[in-house]
Chain A
Amino acid sequence: MANTETALKECLTSIEGATGVALVDYTSGMALGTMGGSKTFDLNVAAAGNTDVIRAKMRTMEHLGLKGEIEDILITLSNQYHLIRLLKGRGGNGLFLYLVLDQARANLAMARHQLKRIEEELEV
């Protein structure tokens, strides 16, 4: 079992091309922990904004009557990938991991796989 900081650090160091990561509480939009990012890329702002993305998707699924659960959401920019992974752990109800990847260096399939593993280890 990793603590939050270790898990975030692991995201940044072990996932190729990762430039920033945040663990976000989905209802309040608060980032419970962030790592990486830059002066021009405020992870706290990104965290708050992306809760709306998840909400919109969840609502759409509810409207459509889909029973499945969101595992992750991928957003592709021209030079970045943003990967959102919802945490499913016992107490992890309402948290998600938000990962920013540099498109030139990242391996998307690998990153998804690793993020899944880190999520399982986080076990919150």
Chain B
Amino acid sequence: MTVVETPPPLPVRDRTALRDRTAGALSPMLIRLAAERATGVLVREYGSLHLAEGRVVHAESPLAPGLDVLLTAHGTLDAAAWPWTDDIPAATHRLLAAGLLPRGALELCGLNALYDAAYFALSPSSTPGRFRYGDPPTPAPLHSVPVAAVERETLRRRELLDRLWPDPATDGAPLIRADPLAPPPLTPRQRAVLDRVDGVRTAPEIARELGRPAFHTLVDVRRLTAAGLLAPASTVAAPPVLPPVTDPDIALLKRLRDALEAL
């Protein structure tokens, strides 16, 4: 007699564990540093994150325009008024103290610049990151953000770009214009980007010229690519034209094929 037993329950994936697994997907080192409330600078291939007691207070990337560019490009702040220094947190302090900019505006601009640079700093790299422990910086004038928020936002931004146009080739390559049959109407923002496409400039360079966050320009560029208005200039030279076939073996094979086909 067969005894039918209740089958053992199937293993169920633990949803909470699943969510936790995304933590540290970008940089396990960063999560560790946040856990130990470290202070210092995490230097990665495409940028650096400044931490104070495990929270991100500042981010820099050569690909993302800094706060100085963002503030002075559109006349929000007179270029002469920016205290020209590489120490952005100190510069922010001085701007606030001088009352040149309202606190809210500076806060929002600072946050935008932070997440923008963090996106590039946390992009996949070929070299391991280094962390330099340092003295706690002067208290950040703008609020700091938790590492988890930076990671979540960076992942969300990656997904957003992927959804718009899945090929990342346009992010770093020089861009050229394409000529679609029926070009869709453009927004003024997109037109400004398209006007600067000249076969030499890359998306981050266009962002710097326009004084816009680099990620925002990547969004515009991917949308323009999806609309068929842009394409990455191929950096690889076209494959050399094949020389005419002179190999006797190939010529023989071709004759043979022709003969067989004629049968």
Query: What's the least CB distance linking B177 to chain A, in Å?
Result: 20
B 204-229 to A, binary, CB cutoff 8 A, 1 in contact else 0: 00000000010110011000000000
Chain A interface category by residue count: 20 to 34
Tally A-B pairs: CB < 8 A.
Answer: 62
**Is B109 interfacial (CB-CB < 8 Å)?**
yes
In the complex with contacts A62-B187, A91-B109, A28-B102 CB distance below 8 A: no
In the complex with contacts A1-B102, A91-B74, A28-B108 CB distance below 8 A: no
Give the distance in Å from the alpha carbon of A1 to the alpha carbon of B105 in the complex: 10
Give the distance in Å from the alpha carbon of A48 to the alpha carbon of B220 in the complex: 16
When distances are taken between beta carbons in the complex, the residues of chain B under 8 Å from A94 are 216
**Contact of B102 (CB < 8 Å), options: A29, A32, A124:** A124
When distances are taken between beta carbons in the complex, the residues of chain B under 8 Å from A91 are 74, 76, 105, 108-109
**Is B120 interfacial (CB-CB < 8 Å)?**
no
A 7-31 to B, binary, CB cutoff 8 A, 1 in contact else 0: 1000000000000000101011110
Inter-subunit contact B102/A123 (CB<8 Å): yes
**Contact of B216 (CB < 8 Å), options: A3, A27, A32, A63:** A27
Majority-rule SS of B interface residues: helix
**Is A56 interfacial (CB-CB < 8 Å)?**
no
When distances are taken between beta carbons in the complex, the residues of chain A under 8 Å from B215 are 28
B 140-162 to A, binary, CB cutoff 8 A, 1 in contact else 0: 00000000000011001100100
In the complex with contacts A2-B104, A91-B109, A30-B74 CB distance below 8 A: no
**Is B32 interfacial (CB-CB < 8 Å)?**
no
**Contact of A123 (CB < 8 Å), options: B104, B156, B220:** B104
Inter-subunit contact A4/B213 (CB<8 Å): no
Considering residues A4, A63, A93, which has the most beta carbons from chain B within 10 angstroms of its beta carbon? Answer: A4
**Is B46 interfacial (CB-CB < 8 Å)?**
no
**Is A39 interfacial (CB-CB < 8 Å)?**
no
Give the distance in Å from the alpha carbon of A70 to the alpha carbon of B126 in the complex: 45
**Contact of A28 (CB < 8 Å), options: B105, B189, B213:** B213
Query: What's the least CB distance linking B113 to chain A, in Å?
Result: 11
**Is A95 interfacial (CB-CB < 8 Å)?**
yes
Considering residues B105, B152, B156, which has the most beta carbons from chain A within 10 angstroms of its beta carbon? Answer: B105
**Is B111 interfacial (CB-CB < 8 Å)?**
yes
Give the distance in Å from the alpha carbon of A41 to the alpha carbon of B88 in the complex: 36
In the complex with contacts A30-B115, A124-B102, A4-B153 CB distance below 8 A: no
In the complex with contacts A28-B219, A32-B112, A4-B107 CB distance below 8 A: yes
Closest to B112 in A: A25
Q: B: which residues have CB within 8 A of A?
A: 74, 76, 102-105, 107-109, 111-112, 115, 152-153, 156-157, 160, 185, 187, 189, 213, 215-216, 219-220
Q: List 8 A-B contacts (CB under 8 A).
A: A2-B104, A3-B104, A4-B107, A28-B115, A28-B157, A29-B160, A32-B111, A91-B105
9 closest residue pairs by CB, A with B: A1-B102, A27-B216, A3-B104, A3-B103, A91-B76, A124-B105, A62-B185, A4-B104, A124-B104
